[in-house]
Amino acid sequence: MFGMKKEHYGYLFIAPFIIGFLVFGLYPVYNTVYLSFTDTTLMSKEANWIGLQNFQRLFADDVFMKAVKNTWIIWILNFIPQIGIATLLAVWFTSARLKIRAVGIWRALFYLPNLLMPAAVAALFFSLFSYYGPVNQFLVRLGLLTEAQHFLQSVPIARGLVVFIQWWMWFGQTLILVMAGMTSISVSLYEAAMVDGASSFDMFRKITLPLLKPILIYIFVISLVGGMQMFDIPYLLTDQRGSPSGSIMTNNILMYLKFSSSKGHIGAASSVGVLIFIMTSICALGIFYFLRERDRQPGR
């Protein structure tokens, strides 16, 4: 074929992936890094190299530091119950003692929110908790509130809603991944442990958790990457983009606001993207390092 040797045919099969990765994966990263060192705007014909000035302005900006803090708070508050509840349900669903029926139906129900569009979910909760929304109507008619409240202007409520939505939409996927890891563990290990008199907690701590480590690392990393890129839910939940008091403004919202400003500061927005990339990469490498398999010395 075209004078190509038979042993080189494999390159033709991997060429589409490599070309796609270079064009849509590697080049955007390179271009974003380059733009972060310039003063490029949407309305400028030329871009000047300004070095680290964009990054210096970011670290001197309280809004950026607040966005980083908000992103971490929202991610941690939704990930801890996400992995905790998913693991608990996975233990129940895979337990031979409980023998829960219709496990497949339960898994489908828990995974269903993940199939919804985040924009639609944000619009739904915005309507529910708006001033004239059903939640206010229900609480006022029930006598629990004397008058309607601006729920979405409250920092705890707005942030709590974002945390809940993120947890509700993604814990079903985490549940399926954890269940897949648990069902792949050989039953003979648990049978041997039961013969030795191990309790259910001991088996979970010494058999299930160690063998689930690869799955848990994967869950940690993809959740971290998704959490650092949080945008649609906090952006669309309120009509003031990151309000109240910037309590739900995330890194990606700040990046978008810089890009969509009056001058369209592409360079400043790119610097936010570069810092998100660096922060996410360092944290992901830390997860791989601390959760890696360690070689044990004999007798230990």
Q: Is 147 within a domain?
A: yes
Report the 10 Å Cβ neighbour count for 145.
14
Q: Is 166 within a domain?
A: yes
Contact 230, 120 (CB under 8 A): no
CA distance 27 to 245: 36
Q: Is 257 within a domain?
A: yes
* 167: CATH: 1.10.3720.10
Q: Is 58 within a domain?
A: no
Q: Is 178 within a domain?
A: yes
Encoded tokens for 162: 């974002």
Encoded tokens for 109: 């129900």
Report the 10 Å Cβ neighbour count for 219.
22
259's CB contacts (< 8 A; 6+ apart) are 265, 266, 269
Q: Is 300 within a domain?
A: no
Q: Is 85 within a domain?
A: yes
What contacts 24+ positions apart, CB below 8 Å, involve 250-256? 250/67, 250/70, 250/71, 250/74, 251/67, 251/68, 251/71, 251/275, 251/276, 252/276, 253/67, 254/63, 254/64, 254/67, 256/231
The count of domains in the chain is 1
Q: Which residue segment(s) compose the domain that 114 sits in?
A: 63-290
Output the pTM of the full model. Answer: 0.86
pLDDT in tens, the chain (300 residues): 556 677 777 888 899 999 999 999 899 999 999 999 999 888 877 888 999 999 999 999 888 999 999 999 999 999 999 999 999 999 888 887 778 888 889 989 999 999 999 889 999 999 999 999 999 999 999 988 889 999 988 899 999 999 999 999 999 999 999 999 998 888 888 889 888 888 888 888 888 888 999 899 999 999 999 999 999 899 988 866 667 788 899 999 999 888 887 678 899 999 999 999 999 999 999 988 888 776 555 444
Q: Is 274 within a domain?
A: yes
